[in-house]
Structure 1
Amino acid sequence: MSSQSVTSTSSTLFLVAIFVCFSLSSSRNPNFMQKGSSLSVEDNSDLLISADNTFACGFYSVGENAYCFSIWFTNSKEKTVVWMANRDKPVNGKGSRVSLLRDGAFVLTDVDGSTTWETNTGTTDVQKAELLDNGNLVLMDSSGKILWQSFDFPTDTLLPHQPITRSKKMISRLGRGNYSAGYFNFYFDNDNVLRLMYDGPDTSTLYWPDVDNTVTQNGRTGYNNTRIAVLDDMGRFLSSDSLQFNASDLGFGIKRRLTIDYDGNLRLYSLNNGTGLWTITWEALLQPCLVRGICGRNGICISTPKLPRCSCLPGYEMTDPSNWNAGCKPRFSITCSQSQQLKFVEFQHMNFYGNDINIYSNKTLDWCKKKCKEDCQCQAFNYRLTGEVKCHLKAALFNGCKSSTVKVSTYLKLPLNIEISEYIILNDTNLTCSSRGYKVPVTGFSSTYMARGKKLRWVYLYCFASAVGVIEFIFLASGWWFLFRRHDVLVAVEEGYRALTSQFRTFSYTELKKATKSFKEELGRGASGVVFKGVLADERVIAVKKLGDAYQMEEVFRAEVSTIGKINHMNLVRMWGFCSESKHRLLVYEYVENKSLDKLLFSENFLGWKERFKVALGTAKGLAYLHHECLEWVIHCDVKPENILLDGEFEPKISDFGLSKLFQKGFNNSKFSRIRGTKGYMAPEWASNLPITAKVDVYSYGVVILELVKGIRLSNWVVEDGEDQEAELTRFVRVVKRKIQSEEATWIEDVVDTRLNGQFSRTQIAKMVEIGISCVEEDRNKRPTMDSIVQALMACEDVSRIRTPDNLSVII
């Protein structure tokens, strides 16, 4: 073979080797792109992937033929987006690309070549763009210095180590599936305090922290000029205004994000790597209807045991059926003419916040009506009877909220000819708050595509933000050192964590032994353990439950308790912490002063009917929260009067919820059967070995609610001739059904507790008996859910007033 042939063959092999190497290197997704390269919208694999494969960066579809340059979690089920460059101006699905130009600019161009978005890094020494493991997209020079970073321009999400400062603002999405900038903001206000604000097309209003409190009352401070806050890898959030909170699953190794959602709530999420789903581990507002502007102008947010719902006021209809942010519009007109006849429609437990024309104290209801009629601007007025009598005249109806906890009535001004039917019930559309799943509207842009969005809002910020980028980075680095590196500050931070609003923490056994004076004062005992009274060093009175020895191993126990500790509802006993040392397993609860329901219901000092109905409704609300609302679904498994505690106002608080989660799985002894339930309150499926669902709690609740009516233990067994014949409950239900079917006029008086001496509501008795009987059905599929029970009880909560279409309220 000639030397020329050898040389030719060698050259060919060399070229093939280079081609193969190039093909292999280009077939994978690198975490950086060099100057002069680009990513194309038409190639789904044209992505930047972080070195640890946590994040991806590329084009994300936001509509029909519409794309945004974005960063998302690769392991989340729905590719959760954490940043978008062009959220308000998507590009076409063909011909669009993002390029790192030779002059150092990072540019997003549309199909027609027009620039949609770019960094202000032209004429700089940018050498590459890289996606870091923390989700930060950076532009760096040859020495590795960061010249631009996506962390400086957050959209609706904050990642660990991404600080939020005075120059940054998080803005929610517009709706579910709509990535355009919405109306809810999370930012540092002028008083140096982190706040949530609704900034809509018609009005702007703050709603968190509580606007009725001062900065100090909200646990914040305005005495800081740094205005810096950050989420760390442990799940701890620390702000210079003293805002501090923890993820309920505090610890390393968990992917997290802090997001202001399209419903206006700020939530901390943790990713389950196994399922790819997110779990809420902290949220700013436990009552969604406290978010201002959520249902738009003339809209009402209605609290329900499940999700809140938006509704239009009577005489109004949705402005845009696909979007609650647009609110409602009137189907009538009110003039300033004196001849126009007007009327007022009353809605109890409803309030509209803000937009007051004037506030009047100690005025009669008729005076307020007259004043509102005379004022052309007045659309309605709030009338508050609790405390000092006040009426608030409203020029606009924003931020409406209807809930049993609202102690205000709203009187809506309407023309006399507007018909109000169905006892003045709101025009409920059965839509949940905020827009969900609506059809993508067509929005016109310079290039040819269909997309969602609003007009660009943020471009003018880039010049300023980029210009001070390097200075701010140095400033942030210094702030980080002062906040997290110095020992004395670390100590203060740990103390702050112990003062979180949840007050949930780990106690030492020595601390609880001292608080209870060596477990001296016993409050009660049951199958799960013994409860003792104690007083902490900060003078809080507590109840400490010493659990038996059949509970989870320490690591599992801590994880399960952390889940229970994040559950919070006014009708659930608050857990303040736990102790897990060696063989000791203790739970620390708030102390509830009025003992348990059984001590007051089945004794000579019996409860009056008003208190009994309050117990029935509050207990239902607590169970509905456990079954339908709380962050992790919980079945109580042992609902009975002994586990329903009463506070000073006789408000019920359910205790011992979640204990079945803590019990040693597979622990085979008699204690396990006892912790599942108590004889007489246990649903039939326990004995049938059927799968346990929330309906076991419904059954137990049915027994309790019937005991509230009858005033005796229905869980006992009737004994005849020395033998158990049948349960008292079975006999009671059979007798009541017979009386109802035979239409006996006095059946209510026959079944109600005689000690009440006729002091009760027949309507409420009838409803509670109806609910109770349906709850104790043997077929669990026939039992109602707890949220439907709450709605039924709330419908007859106030029976002293009956609504009619003609005259608005009649006293009986």
Structure 2
Amino acid sequence: MYSLVKTTGKWDVSWQHESKPCRIHSVCGPNSLCTYDPYNGRTCSCLPGFKIKNHTDWSYGCELESEINCNRTRVGFLWILYVDFYGYDIRYISNSTISQCQKECMKLCNCKGFMLRFVEWRGVNDCFTKFLLINGHHSPEVNGIFDIKLPIDRMFLFSNNNKTQNVSMLDCSGLGPVVLDRMYEKNSEKESLIRIWLWFATGFGCFEATCILMVLYYLYSANQGADNTTQGYILAATGFKRFTYGELRKVMHSFSEEIGRGSGGIVYKSTLSDGRVAAIKQLNEANQGEAEFLAEISSIGKLNHMNLIKMWGYCVEGKQKLLVYELMKRGSLAENLSSNQLQRDAWFEIAIGTAKGLAYLHEECLEWILHCDIKPKNILLDSDYQPKVADFGLSKFLNRGGGGLNNSSFSRVRGTRGYMAPEWVYNLPNTAKVGVYSYGMVVLEMITGKSLTGTLSFDHGGLTSHGRLVTWVKEKMNKVAATSDHSWVEEIFDPSLGYEYDINKLEVLVRVALLCLEEDKDSRPTMRQVVEILASLQ
């Protein structure tokens, strides 16, 4: 908003919606920096060693002037002060030195640089290695240094006193002139035309207002006995439809068609008034306050990914809290595993699709979202067996600026026995790696056909033991490798999934699952790394 200073005749910025416009997601594109000051506004510039990709649009960002190979002797690091790139972390290392952080980034080919941030309340430095340089901004508030990986032959061009690139101006010469009318021209012809339009607009406005009043009167007459909180439709800030409890009870025929239940609540099948077939979940956690419930709904509304279940609406009236989702025709992964319904190679598409959905939650959202109950019941399948992660009732939404993935605010154990990471047992800080662990268990259960819902008893192949599925798989792998020439894949793969399968795909998938199930959370890969490995097999 601009205000006119009468004494000088100039316009000054007196208010703006975003006080820090450089914190807007991807405003300058990859490998670029956003800088803002009140006089010149927001500007974009490329990182040292990079050049602008599209001279007419900064959203494309910048690209390397010369490629970086994986030879450690040919690359180095250039440090830049007061710069931060939030999100897209490969790994987070607490209480780290700059040399430790450099070594960690150097041994990873996909590491583009790292942020070493000083945490005042702990008095230590934390290291964040990055696989993408997005959301970059320059600000004196940044408490740390950023090191960018560059080829050795390019580093000498940037001295310690000249580490920022000149701001690349956009070339808009080919877009044609834009002419703005800045003066009001007064003449009798224009005044007559304006007068006619004003009379027309006034008449049309009166007619429209009359129609609206008639519709409102009709709605009021039809629902005059209803409570004020249940009249009409209220759109949440997310765009969801807010249903009334009576409305949902009617379309569900008084909760008559139950299709599933769990610790979070009961799920019913229903057809909405607009003809859409929905799954409506009645939540058990009635003690959750309305404000807390609506805040979580708002966070879910920001999610948009093909491998996450889509929510259509909700209802909150007193202790009654319901969620309205799209209905998945194939049901849950658990149902398909128990009924041997999976088609050939569908298991691989389910594994990679689930990984993509979790990677989005862990790394691509502006808030970190930890889904604390990953299991086959919470992975739903559409008509083409494409997976969608569901049930965010046990999710934890963490602000990136408030402790992030190192936040240990969980006060009680969450999840399902058999899929829970060791961090819950040892009361360690809970990070995205708890979801990585649960994903590994789901993949092994899907491939082996061994259920984790009860006591594990394995007598397949002459081996009888009671214990963890991971131990059983590793024993099979070691035993076949020592005594037989056939693949250990044949020993652990569930025959009900089909006899025609790609052994190489299956072997890589099992090894990735075992990496996800490492006891040490720092030894587990991120979900983004899992996606990259599996995508290379497609």
Q: For the superposition of Structure 1 and Structure 2, which TM-score range results when normalised by the shorter chain?
A: 0.5 to 0.7
Shift of 1:76: 3.1
Partner of 1:736: 477
Cα distance in 1 for partners of 2:336, 2:324 equals 24
Shift of 1:597: 1.0
Partner of 1:690: 428
Shift of 1:183: 11
Residue deviations 1:520-544, cap 9 Å, x none? 1111111111111111110111111
Shift of 1:685: 0.7
Query: What does 1:369-408 correspond to in 2, within 5 Å?
Result: none
From 552, 558, 583, the counterpart of 2:288: 552
> CA RMSD for the aligned pairs?
5.0
Shift of 1:440: 3.8
Cα distance in 2 for partners of 1:794, 1:758 equals 23
Residue deviations 1:709-733, cap 9 Å, x none? 212225643469xx99522333223
Q: 5+ unaligned residues in a row in structure 1: which ranges?
A: 1-29, 40-46, 56-71, 81-92, 99-107, 109-154, 157-172, 185-199, 202-260, 264-293, 296-308, 311-317, 323-427, 443-450, 663-671, 798-812
Cα distance in 2 for partners of 1:660, 1:551 equals 17
Cα distance in 1 for partners of 2:292, 2:214 equals 28
Cα distance in 1 for partners of 2:432, 2:482 equals 30
From 772, 780, 793, the counterpart of 2:534: 793
Partner of 2:6: 34
Cα distance in 1 for partners of 2:286, 2:518 equals 32
SS at match of 2:282: strand
Preserved contact between residue 717 and residue 724 of structure 1 (Cα < 8 Å): no
From 13, 20, 23, the counterpart of 1:76: 20
Cα distance in 1 for partners of 2:507, 2:6 equals 76
Partner of 1:758: 499
- Matched residues, percent identical? 36
SS at match of 2:367: coil
Cα distance in 1 for partners of 2:499, 2:291 equals 55
Partner of 1:464: 181
From the superposition, tell whether residues 634 and 750 of structure 1 become closer, same or farther in structure 2 (CA, over 3 Å). same
- Count of aligned positions: 396
Query: What does 1:589-608 correspond to in 2, within 5 Å?
Result: 589-603=325-339, 605-608=340-343
From 564, 570, 574, the counterpart of 2:310: 574
The answer to whether structure 1 residue 629 and structure 2 residue 364 are counterparts is yes
Shift of 1:610: 1.0
The answer to whether structure 1 residue 749 and structure 2 residue 490 are counterparts is yes
SS at match of 2:314: strand
From the superposition, tell whether residues 734 and 779 of structure 1 become closer, same or farther in structure 2 (CA, over 3 Å). farther
Shift of 1:758: 3.0
Cα distance in 1 for partners of 2:178, 2:308 equals 47
Shift of 1:571: 1.4
Preserved contact between residue 645 and residue 654 of structure 1 (Cα < 8 Å): yes
SS at match of 2:368: coil
SS at match of 1:633: strand
Of Structure 1 and Structure 2, the greater strand share is in: 1
From the superposition, tell whether residues 608 and 711 of structure 1 become closer, same or farther in structure 2 (CA, over 3 Å). farther
Preserved contact between residue 372 and residue 396 of structure 2 (Cα < 8 Å): no
Shift of 1:639: 0.7
Residue deviations 1:18-54, cap 9 Å, x none? xxxxxxxxxxxx965234x378xxxxxxx9463xxxx
Larger RCO, structure (CA 8 Å, separation 6 or more): 2
From the superposition, tell whether residues 588 and 434 of structure 1 become closer, same or farther in structure 2 (CA, over 3 Å). closer
From 483, 507, 514, the counterpart of 1:773: 514
Preserved contact between residue 612 and residue 708 of structure 1 (Cα < 8 Å): yes
Preserved contact between residue 502 and residue 566 of structure 1 (Cα < 8 Å): yes
From the superposition, tell whether residues 744 and 549 of structure 1 become closer, same or farther in structure 2 (CA, over 3 Å). same
Cα distance in 2 for partners of 1:775, 1:683 equals 10
Preserved contact between residue 509 and residue 581 of structure 1 (Cα < 8 Å): yes
Q: 5+ unaligned residues in a row in structure 2: which ranges?
A: 25-36, 68-111, 114-130, 139-162, 217-232, 398-410, 459-463
SS at match of 1:545: strand
From the superposition, tell whether residues 74 and 786 of structure 1 become closer, same or farther in structure 2 (CA, over 3 Å). closer
Residue deviations 1:212-262, cap 9 Å, x none? xxxxxxxxxxxxxxxxxxxxxxxxxxxxxxxxxxxxxxxxxxxxxxxxx84
Preserved contact between residue 476 and residue 491 of structure 2 (Cα < 8 Å): no
Cα distance in 1 for partners of 2:485, 2:185 equals 82
Partner of 1:277: none
Partner of 1:405: none
Of Structure 1 and Structure 2, the greater helix share is in: 2
The answer to whether structure 1 residue 639 and structure 2 residue 374 are counterparts is yes
Shift of 1:681: 0.6
Task: State the one-letter code of the partner of 1:682.
Answer: M
Shift of 1:584: 0.6
The answer to whether structure 1 residue 532 and structure 2 residue 504 are counterparts is no
Cα distance in 1 for partners of 2:288, 2:327 equals 25
Cα distance in 1 for partners of 2:527, 2:184 equals 57
From the superposition, tell whether residues 511 and 741 of structure 1 become closer, same or farther in structure 2 (CA, over 3 Å). farther
Residue deviations 1:271-295, cap 9 Å, x none? xxxxxxxxxxxxxxxxxxxxxxx48
Cα distance in 2 for partners of 1:692, 1:467 equals 63
Cα distance in 2 for partners of 1:782, 1:732 equals 19
Cα distance in 1 for partners of 2:135, 2:307 equals 28
State the TM-score, normalized to the length of structure 2.
Answer: 0.61
SS at match of 1:732: helix
From 618, 626, 643, the counterpart of 2:353: 618
Preserved contact between residue 237 and residue 298 of structure 2 (Cα < 8 Å): no
